[in-house]
Structure 1
Amino acid sequence: MITFGKKALTGITLALGLLSYGSAYAAAGGSIADIKARGVLTVGTEAAYEPYEFIRNDKIVGYGEDILQYMVKKLGVKLNQLNQPFQGLLPGVLARKFDFVATSVGITQERAKKVAFTEPVGEVRSMLVVKKDNAAIKDAADITGRIVGTQMGSLAQPAIEDYNKALKKEGKSGYADLKLYQSYPDVSVALLNGTIQVAVLPSNVLVLEMKQKPDAYRVIGQVGERRLLAWVTNPKDKEVRSFINDTLNEMQANGTLANLQKKWFGETMDLPTKDYLPKGAL
């Protein structure tokens, strides 16, 4: 059984609305020349994925935001950044509501058949977390019969669903329910208030949560493999994707990208620049 939180249902409604009315808002997308002619770069972001992109003092900040500011300066245009629920971002870029999605989206085979991924900007692992004082759940196998929660449409959702299928193949009953939320902060709140018993959180979010609340969480395992994160463009806007990739390579070569990774993560990342897309990707 899968149930949706109230905010998740709002995200579904937004995504459907973008698909229905996208053509009425098709004011973005195209070529780099189009963006420069407009004098504005319009991007879609979900600023709820610290430290990649998040809100601090009413402003969007983070690793991805610093990369974006580098690109805006390079283009010589103004930035129009639309902070929206994750569930509306991919439909939005396909509907040309944005020039591209400047938020960290997991590269999957299903997504790569619909949208065009840039070179990776980061990586993530899906971690199983319980409240620190929950002694009954000791490891990943103990999610059997428990209420689990994660963000709707995230990499963590298929990871926990696949793990649940594996449990059932072993003759176990699997989780009692999977609740889906609009954002990871909502998942953390649900865990701490007892709405769910196990949360599936991305490793980067979890590290920060545990620093801020050292006595709140306990990690019981990981589901799935390491996933690469990238930005997203409309498949028709090949020049926009090339601009992003070229700029990422430039930032890697001049040391800017490594400095930003140290600033936000405390270490550099070993990210591929080729052979990172799944078979059949656009």
Structure 2
Amino acid sequence: MNKMAGWKSCAVTLALCAASVGAHADDLANVHKAGELVVGTEMQFAPFDFLENGQQAGFNKDLFAEIGKELGVKVRFIDLPWPSVLPGLEAHKFDMVGGPLTVTKARADRYAYTLPIADATDALLKRTGDTSLKQASDIAGKTVGAGKSTAQYEQLKVWAATLPKPPEIREYVDFNQAYSDLAAGRIVAVANSVTNIAYVAKQRPDTFAVMQPSFGAKVYYAYCMRKDEDSKTLLAAFDAALVKMNKDGRLAALQKKWLGVAMDTPSTLPAPNY
């Protein structure tokens, strides 16, 4: 190759690189270009996401419909087993996770959280009429359940280790399986956020009851995105939409509809308690 040809080749390469850089867009720009926000979730997590007559129902469906209006895009959900959701986010299979997730230190180091949308403090669900369980510490030496790869499982494991005789903890792929085992008497309780189990107990009061008080640290639910530069604009736009919904009462209305009560949620993301 002669010298002039070499310079021409370099010029073409630099032009292609410049075009590639110029074509790069962040996540918000990509969402607007596609006309849709793609959300990964697990539809076995009532009252946030669940299936009713084969169709999605719950808090997330309603909240993201409002978010879509604010962003000017449609929202499309992808239903996956929970252990596959966060890996799917990292693999860029969707724009964000709609669990929602408990805000924890380990996750906050790895993912970018939105503003909180509900209380996620842990509590225990038991069978209605089980007089052997009057308070959370009564699960000592018994068998309880929690969701596989969930923050509720991790917090239960830490708290249970402080009991005189730690309980056996069974992990379930989804909480519906845990609730089924609880109803059948194969375990004595299920650990989940008080928000979730209050909904379950309300739906089946003859079968389930919430044990009070809750246990563990005060924590919140939020959604999450990838923790990179490209996600910053999408996160800012999402949070701005949440703030607007909080101010005009739409968030409180959805909390009352699906969670039973309007909840005070922080206007900034609090530091995780564990």
Q: TM-score range by the shorter chain?
A: 0.7 to 0.9
RMSD: 2.1
Distance 1:275 1:192, change over 3 A: closer
Distance in 2 of aligned mates of 1:140 and 1:226: 16
> How many residues are treated as equivalent by the alignment?
246
* Match of residue 51, structure 1, among 40, 47, 51: 47
* Match of residue 224, structure 2, among 202, 216, 232: 232
Residue in 2 aligned with 1:104? 100
Provide the secondary structure at the position in 2 that maps to 1:159: helix
Distance in 2 of aligned mates of 1:47 and 1:73: 22
Residue in 2 aligned with 1:206? 197
Residue in 2 aligned with 1:179? 170
Structure 1 position 275, deviation (Å): 4.7
Query: Contact 1:108–1:278 (CA<8 Å) still a contact in 2?
Result: yes
Map Cα deviations across residues 8-64 of structure 1 (whole Å, 9 max, x no partner).
Answer: xxxxxxxxxxxxxxxxxxxxx942111121223211011222222222232222222
Q: Larger strand proportion, structure 1 or 2?
A: 1
Distance 1:141 1:72, change over 3 A: closer
- Unaligned 5+ runs, structure 1: 1-28
User: Are 1:195 and 2:186 matched, yes or no?
Assistant: yes
Map Cα deviations across residues 87-127 of structure 1 (whole Å, 9 max, x no partner).
Answer: 22222112111111122110000110111101101112222
**Superposition TM-score, scaled by structure 2 size:** 0.82
Identity of aligned residues (%): 28
Distance in 2 of aligned mates of 1:161 and 1:202: 14
Query: Contact 2:118–2:263 (CA<8 Å) still a contact in 1?
Result: yes
Structure 1 position 253, deviation (Å): 2.2
Query: Contact 1:159–1:223 (CA<8 Å) still a contact in 2?
Result: no
Larger radius of gyration: 2
- Unaligned 5+ runs, structure 2: 1-24
Distance 1:128 1:262, change over 3 A: closer
Which amino acid in the other structure matches residue 216 of structure 2? G
Structure 1 position 219, deviation (Å): 3.8
User: Are 1:152 and 2:144 matched, yes or no?
Assistant: no
**Superposition TM-score, scaled by structure 1 size:** 0.80
Distance 1:139 1:234, change over 3 A: same
